[in-house]
Amino acid sequence: MVQFADEAVIKVISGKGGNGCISFRREKYIPNGGPNGGDGGRGGDVIFCVKRNLRTLAHLRYHPIFKARNGGDGMSWNKFGKDGEDVIIPVPPGTIIRDNETGALVHDFTDEDEEKQIVFLKGGKGGWGNVHFKSSTNQAPRYAHSGKPGEERELKVELAIMADIGLVGFPNAGKSSLLDLFTNARPKIAPYPFTTKVPNLGVLRVDENNDIVIADIPGIIEGAADGAGLGSRFLKHVSRTAGLIFMIDCADSNCFQAYDLLLDELEKYGGGLSEKPRLVLCNKIDEEGAAENAARVQEELARKNPSLTVIPLSVVARSNIDAVRTAVIELAGRTEQKLSAEEKSGGFLSGRSVVEELGEQFPGSDD
């Protein structure tokens, strides 16, 4: 099984330019021919290219050095050296590149960069051959330019998943069960905490023209923003979302503090996560006492924020699922214009699974 990789440190090196050639015409009847040394070829560039079919940075971890080819040296008879071959580095959408020493942002690949190639480091220029240095006072120049060296950078490459909606919650709240219900993502589901070890993506089909990509990240624990548990590492994967779903386990005695604790972790993490539009789901109302807890949570949150949408539900019993689906679509800013045949027949589930396309490159999970 390939480990999910959302960070990698790589070294990129562009190619050196080829040297110019020192050469003279030497023919039977032209014993003192002029210079005819050709120019060196340019070094290869380092190019980043966004590829939609990539979902992790595992290929960078196993290949941490990317070096473009050097340009060929110039040759006699004014022949140019061959240009060095570029090195092309494919990355998933949502990749962030930083300088590994300073941490400064170098480039942020968003959907706008889809399928585009970005020249990151230019190869060195080829040197001039001695033909360029012939003059009236120097008919036989015996020097040429050396090729310019390439550039070298050490980069930290990070992945922030591109999704419309992010699922956040404490371990075992039922986030992945909801993802499994709404999409075909098929994450690992088990009745114990921390079964989600990596982010999972699923696609909720809204209509024939619109999909909503939902990201489920490993369960947050108190102190996640400061590095506790897995939350700090994976909160970045919901940083680009249009909105967040707060999943609360109302069968748990801590359900009354869950919302404030989650919001506090998002505020500590920063990046505008705590300001995103949100939907609160009070899960597991099929269990004893959970429905009463959900009603109390709903009342308390209504006093704090009357505009906040709070929906009690049971993913297992499939209660209030239609209302949740409508709220998720509204949160994503989508309008459902045309229901699929499956939806019209009473089923609300449809869509494609991003995870299924990934195989072992993106292993499944659930809390």
**CA atoms of 363 and 223, how far apart (whole Å):** 26
Angle between helices 290-304 and 255-269 (to 10 degrees): 50
Q: What is the average per-residue pLDDT within 177-183?
A: 82
* CA nearest neighbour of 37 among 141, 108, 125, 160: 141
Q: What is the DSSP letter of 27?
A: B
- Alpha-carbon Rg for the chain, nearest whole angstrom, is 29
pLDDT at 335: 38
What is the residue-wise DSSP string for 55-76?
--SHHHHT--EEEPPPPPPPBT
Contact 351, 181 (CB under 8 A): no
Show Cβ contacts of residue 112 under 8 Å, excluding neighbours closer than 6 positions.
none
**CA atoms of 145 and 126, how far apart (whole Å):** 8
Measured between alpha carbons, how far apart are the two ends of the chain, in Å? 20
Q: How far is CA 306 from the centre of its chain?
A: 35
Q: What is the average per-residue pLDDT within 235-246?
A: 82
Q: How far is CA 171 from the centre of its chain?
A: 24
Contact 172, 45 (CB under 8 A): no
Q: Which of 48-57, 62-71, 254-263 has the lowest mean pLDDT?
A: 48-57
Show Cβ contacts of residue 9 under 8 Å, excluding neighbours closer than 6 positions.
64, 100, 154, 155, 156, 157
Q: What is the average per-residue pLDDT within 123-136?
A: 92
The one-letter code for the residue type at 363 is P
**CA atoms of 352 and 217, how far apart (whole Å):** 19
Reported as a single tens digit per residue, the pLDDT across 182-197 is: 876 444 433 433 344 4
Length of the chain: 367
Residue 159 has pLDDT above 60, yes or no: yes
| Secondary structure (3-state) at 266 | helix
Backbone angles phi, psi at 300, to 5 degrees: -65, -40
Confidence label for 351 from pLDDT (cuts 50, 70 and 90): very low
Reported as a single tens digit per residue, the pLDDT across 287-339 is: 999 999 999 999 999 999 999 999 999 998 999 999 999 999 888 884 343 33
CB atoms under 10 Å from CB of 3, counted, come to: 12
